Amino acid sequence: MSRQLSGPPLLFDMPLAPDFSIEKRLIARGAGPVCGIDEAGRGPLAGPVVAAAVILDPRRIPKGLDDSKRLKAAERERLCEEIVRTATAVAVASVAANGIDTINILRASLEAMRRAATLLCVVPGHALIDGRDVPPGLPCPAQALVKGDQRSQSIAAASIVAKVTRDRMMARCATVHPAYGFELHMGYATARHRSAIVEAGAVTRIHRMSFAPLKAGAVDVEMVEAGLLAAQAG
């Protein structure tokens, strides 16, 4: 199985919005169908990491696809519904907080990506992965693209589905554990979340006990603000 890594694009090579050009080249070489894979939730103190794999229908690509972090919540929701309705195949998978604690967040993210790809109802001919790492065990050759969600519409679609799915999961979690405000911060290390952990303690199987502030047994505000809080866009 061939695996390729694409380095960071030069500033003047970055498109204003992701397009379908990489996919078209692969399809023209007979490497289709192409799936985009991305994840959401590497940085939070709580909740799962969620990955999505999407094979877009080249004839029905939703307008406005972009890196999920550059879209407002309402636009992500709208696009997610359209992606699910029009794409050739969509699959979502996750690794929960206790799994992240067991194998670490990088391996958990790659495992969620692998699961999503294998759950597609159509076997992809090639996968485009956001980031620098290609998950082991994919069902097809794959290529990692730095800033892929800003370069490939397939990856952008996956980033939207992963983000919306995870946000919905955290909102549902908030109905069971209302003290933490998960529906507002989605598990990231906001001041409200840190305060709730200090007051109510961490929730087993929801909070990531291997992350530094929780692993130490207390919330180290300076550590969180210097590190994990900066990862909120992830």
DSSP states along the chain = --EEEE-PPPGGGS-SS-BSHHHHHHHHTT-PSEEEEEEE-SS-SBS-EEEEEEE--TTSPPTT---GGGS-HHHHHHHHHHHHHHSSEEEEEEE-HHHHHHH-HHHHHHHHHHHHHHH-SS--SEEEEESS-PPTT-SS-EEEETTGGGTBHHHHHHHHHHHHHHHHHHHHHHHHSGGG-HHHHTT---HHHHHHHHHH-PPTTTB-TTSHHHHTTS--HHHHHHTGGGGTT-
Q: At what angle do helices 73-86 and 153-176 cross, to 10 degrees?
A: 120
User: 12-21, 37-46, 76-85, 166-175: which has the minimum mean pLDDT?
Assistant: 12-21
Please check whether residue 45 is in contact with residue 129, taking contact to mean a CB–CB distance below 8 angstroms.
no
User: 4-13, 71-80, 121-130: which has the minimum mean pLDDT?
Assistant: 4-13
Residue 29, phi-psi category: left (phi > 0), alpha (psi -120 to 50), beta (remainder): alpha
State which amino acid sits at residue 102: T
Interval 6-31 mean pLDDT: 82
CA atoms of 19 and 151, how far apart (whole Å): 6
Beta carbons within 8 Å of 216's beta carbon, 6+ residues apart: none
The CATH H-level superfamily of 3-165 is: Ribonuclease H-like superfamily/Ribonuclease H (3.30.420.10)
Nearest to 124 by CA among 136, 140, 111: 140
Q: Domains of the chain: which residue ranges?
A: 3-165, 173-231
Q: Give 96-151 pLDDT, tens digit per residue.
A: 999 999 999 999 999 999 999 999 999 999 999 999 999 999 999 999 999 999 99
pLDDT score of 8: 59
Instruction: For Cα atoms 45, 51, 53, give the angle at the middle one, nearest 5 degrees.
Output: 170
Computed over every residue of the chain, the mean pLDDT equals 90
Q: pTM for this structure?
A: 0.87
Residue 181 pLDDT greater than 80, yes or no: yes
Interval 51-75 mean pLDDT: 97
pLDDT score of 16: 83
Interval 17-30 mean pLDDT: 97
Q: Give 213-226 pLDDT, tens digit per residue.
A: 788 654 444 444 44
